[in-house]
Amino acid sequence: MVKHGNAEKMSESKPIAPTEIYASTFAVPGMDCPSEERLIRMALDALPEVRGLQFDLENRRLEVRHSGGAESVLARLEPLGFGARLDSTVEADAEAAAPTSDPAAESRVLKQLLAINAAMFVVELVLGVVAQSTGLIADSLDMFADATVYGLSLYAVGRAVAAKQRAAKISGWLQMLLALGALGEVARRTVTGSEPVEALMIGVALLALVANLSCIALLAKHREGGVHLKASWIFSTNDALANLGVVLAGVLVAVTDTAWPDLVVGTAVGLLVFWGAVRILRLR
């Protein structure tokens, strides 16, 4: 059995035979949102040597069954910006079955996730404008970002690699433009002033939180062996914190009678969405 802490040691101590099957374990500390798992799947989808993926959500680890060396897998993961690193590679039993999935069930849940996120994008955007809340407007784009990734996953089924890359680039640039628009709105309201409606902010943000937790529940039902609540919470941290951030901003707007809490949260979520667009554009 061969086991190494990184790709360099692995290649130095034993040449990898392209016909052998290996199981490489990667630590992915930045994998803390359901849509980020989809990005990882899309990034590795184009590698013919990848035979199967198994995600350990609670510990933020990924096991990849592959032929050849692990360097090509790591080369796909690193540009995503999740801090992926190779922990170990061992010879795998070629006879053992790789993790399988039900394409029909996966397609159904992706459509449900897409519908929830797309609907909440529209609701938060419209009510964010009505409430004069940059926090809600930016949070709506976070929903749009997740909807984009789920939509890309559906579009990618049966498509050529070049078509997937084109779709990813278009969606990434669109998401980046929307994020810049949200940040521009924050800047405009900082100069011209705004009067956020705190009750509407809090109510819509709580609705968005429910929508995000519903997405986690859908994902949990379609995973082999189920998902522990702790793992689900860890995996939804970013989206949940964004929603709770808007709720807190609404409370602070009411307490301080100023728009600054809303502007701060709008900036933070806008930057988060912008970084998500960068990750999509890094897909290759």
Domain-embedded: residue 96 = no
> In this predicted model, what pLDDT tens digit does every residue of 222-281 receive, in sequence order?
554 444 344 444 555 667 788 889 999 999 999 999 999 999 999 999 998 898 888 888
Q: How many domains are contained in the chain?
A: 2
163 found inside a domain? yes
Res. 43: pLDDT tops 80: yes
Instruction: Please compute the mean of the pLDDT values over residues 123-142 and round it to a whole number.
Output: 93
Task: Tell me the longest C-alpha to C-alpha distance in the chain.
Answer: 67
CA neighbor of 92 nearest in space, from 165, 153, 2:
2
230 three-class SS: helix
Q: In this structure, are 197 and 248 located in the same domain?
A: yes
Specify whether 151 is located in the same domain as 263.
yes
User: How many percent of the chain have pLDDT more than 90?
Assistant: 40
- Output the pLDDT for position 101: 56
Q: Write down the pLDDT at residue 225.
A: 40
Which of 60, 91, 122 represents a domain boundary (last residue)?
A: 91
Residues 243, 142 contacting (CB under 8 angstroms): no
Q: What is the pLDDT of residue 221?
A: 66
Q: What is the mean pLDDT of residues 135-145?
A: 91
Type of residue found at 97: A
What pLDDT is stored for residue 119 in this prediction?
Answer: 95
Confirm if 106 and 222 have CB atoms less than 8 A apart.
yes
Nearest to 66 by CA among 24, 6, 28, 116: 24
Which residue segment(s) compose the domain that 191 sits in?
A: 103-281
Asked if residue 261 lies in contact with residue 248, where contact means CB atoms within 8 angstroms, the answer is: yes
* Helices 34-45 and 198-221, packing angle to 10 deg: 50
pLDDT score of 219 more than 80: no
In-domain check, residue 216: yes
Task: Give the end of a domain, one of 69, 91, 113.
Answer: 91
How high is the pLDDT of residue 198?
92
Q: Which CATH number fits the domain that encloses residue 11?
A: 3.30.70.100
Among 40, 57, 91, which residue terminates a domain? 91
| Arithmetic mean of pLDDT, 148-171 | 76
Residues 69 and 198 in one domain: no
Mean predicted confidence (pLDDT) in 31-51: 81
27/127 same-domain check: no
Q: Which residues pair with 86 in a beta bridge?
A: 26
What is the mean pLDDT of the segment spanning 114-124? 94
189 and 255 belong to one structural domain? yes
pLDDT attached to residue 259: 93
- Are 71 and 84 in contact, with CB atoms under 8 Å apart? no
